[in-house]
Amino acid sequence: MNCVLGLDIGTTSTIGILIQVPDRVLSVASRPVTLRSPQPGWAEEDPADWWANVRSIVPELLDGAGIAASDIAGIGVTGMLPAVVLLDRDGALLRPSIQQSDGRCGDEVAQLQAEVDETAFIARAGNGINQQLVTAKLRWIERYEPDVFARIATVFGSYDYINWRLTGVRAVEQNWALEAGFVDLMARRLDDDLIALAHVPRDVLPPLVASHVPIGRVSEAAAGETGLAPGTPVMGGAADHIASAYAAGVTATGDVLLKFGGSVDILTATNKAVPDPRLYLDYHLAPGLFMPNGCMATGGSGLNWFVDTFAKGEAGAAGAAGRSLHAHLDDLAAAAPPGADGVQIIPYFLGEKTPIHDPAARGIVTGLSLNHGLPHLWRALLEAYGYGLRHHVDVLTDMGHGTRRFLASDGGSTSRLWMQIVADILQAPVQLLTGHPGSCLGAAWMAAIGSGLTDDWQGPRAFVADGPRILPNADNREVYDVGYARFRATYRALAAVDQGSGA
């Protein structure tokens, strides 16, 4: 039946999709995931929950599609990157995963920066020395959890873990290893010297694989747990943000995806590798291309925190209007003026990743007065992520990457208010997409390529259509130019104060 399965091990949910090549979605299912922050700046999850979700999702997908497990020709898994999953020699989990948004390793980053010539490191590894590096996280474990560190037999990522549970094969996908800091960018191989910086034995890193290359087949044990057919090929997998941008059609120079998921991502395509410490650099899923990208530490997760902390009292009004709490807050915020009447939020609730790479940064609210209320705060929060995106666009431009066309995807893009704010802050049209189920589609297409069902690298666009095109309101240019300058200046001023106080 030309069917393939895509699984997305996301920050806030596990999502599965069954598609029929070339252009039909058969079924979609999801289960929630709990992101825990036991200390300020920490972000952890339990990988066992991901596997439990997969076991639950697969039968639902098969039932919804009305197909047999034997009709699935291949499986692709995507996930957040670079989550850190550790196994002991017997394959037992050593601790909760440390997520990509975790900011605990600031001291270890500083230590690495003092030890290593960062210019040479960037040229070799493709990425800068920052909190994203698995090297820094492993050094943190070495320092604070030495018993765990001594028992590490395997280090890999979220989707690598699910691949292992499906096949029994341990491998690391190329972009997990690249952003982890373990890959020679141009040679496309694991680098012994880079791995040695993490103070772990070379053999804890499994072999490197490309996204569309089969690594193994579903084992009898995994088949019994999930309902999949034993022997089904499983591919190398893909980083979720790269898979999402690929599925959205970001394959030409100047195309930019604004991805509004648990975090806010910005990604573009290029045929030139231009390492820069401010952003991340990944391999594109399509051959011969690279994908420079940025990722804010929060996004949808920040909005969800705000709702849970400050807006639960609006649940009754939202329900009476037949609206979700998020949509209800949009309705309220639409009445607040652009610039939120002087209220501004710096959304660094988990520190911040790109482009400032400051794990010690924190969320800030400025300009608040007794005449302000919930609508101003919600609008200021939406504007905050718009300013963050504009900062990234400035960096891309400075690096020589043109931004010809902005596409928007994932759950946050359904907020017309948020997308209008983003268009106004960027002063550029934002093209919404319809039918884009997210990263799971890119993973499924890797399974279609790897299993030989197709050789069409542009195939995912058959599933995704253009929705409304949000045009910028020129009348809001000035207020958002001022707001953006203030956004940048506020962080710089407070960062200088923190540095001056030794914080």
- pLDDT for 151-173, tens place per residue? 999 999 999 999 999 999 999 99
Which residues are 407's β-sheet partners? 257, 431
Residue 198 resides in a domain: yes
Q: Is 304 left (phi over 0), alpha (psi -120 to 50) or beta?
A: alpha
Number of domains in the chain: 1
d(Cα 28, Cα 84) in Å, to the nearest integer? Answer: 27
- Average pLDDT rounded to a whole number, residues 397-415: 94
Residue 499 resides in a domain: no
Residue 35 resides in a domain: yes
Which residue type is seen at 100? Q
- The tokens for 371 are 């005449």
pLDDT band of 178, cuts 50, 70, 90: very high
Q: Which residues contact 114 (CB under 8 A, 6 or more apart)?
A: none
- pLDDT for 264-280, tens place per residue? 999 999 999 999 999 99
Beta strands in 236-325 (DSSP E): 238-239, 255-260, 264-268, 280-283, 290-295
For the entire predicted model, the pTM comes to: 0.90
- The tokens for 215 are 């690594």
d(Cα 361, Cα 355) in Å, to the nearest integer? Answer: 12
Beta strands in 403-502 (DSSP E): 405-409, 430-434, 465-470
Residue 28 resides in a domain: yes
CATH number of the domain within which 197 lies:
3.30.420.40
How many Å separate Cα 265 from the centre of its chain? 7
Q: What is the pLDDT of residue 499?
A: 60
- pLDDT for 116-141, tens place per residue? 999 999 999 999 998 889 999 999 99
Residue 172 resides in a domain: yes
For residue 100, pLDDT over 50 is answered with yes
Which residue type is seen at 36? R
Q: Which residues contact 416 (CB under 8 A, 6 or more apart)?
A: 330, 468, 470
- pLDDT for 341-389, tens place per residue? 999 999 999 889 999 999 889 999 999 999 999 999 999 999 999 999 9
Q: Are 4 and 68 in contact (CB under 8 A)?
A: no
User: Phi and psi dihedrals of 67, rounded to 5?
Assistant: -125, 165
What is the residue range of 79's domain? 3-241
Which residue type is seen at 171? A
**Closest C-alpha among 335, 336, 318 to residue 327:** 318
How many Å separate Cα 61 from the centre of its chain? 24
Residue 108 resides in a domain: yes
Residue 385 resides in a domain: no
Residue 374 resides in a domain: no
**Quick one: which H or E segment has residue 490?**
helix 477-501
d(Cα 186, Cα 145) in Å, to the nearest integer? Answer: 34
Q: What is the pLDDT of residue 498?
A: 67
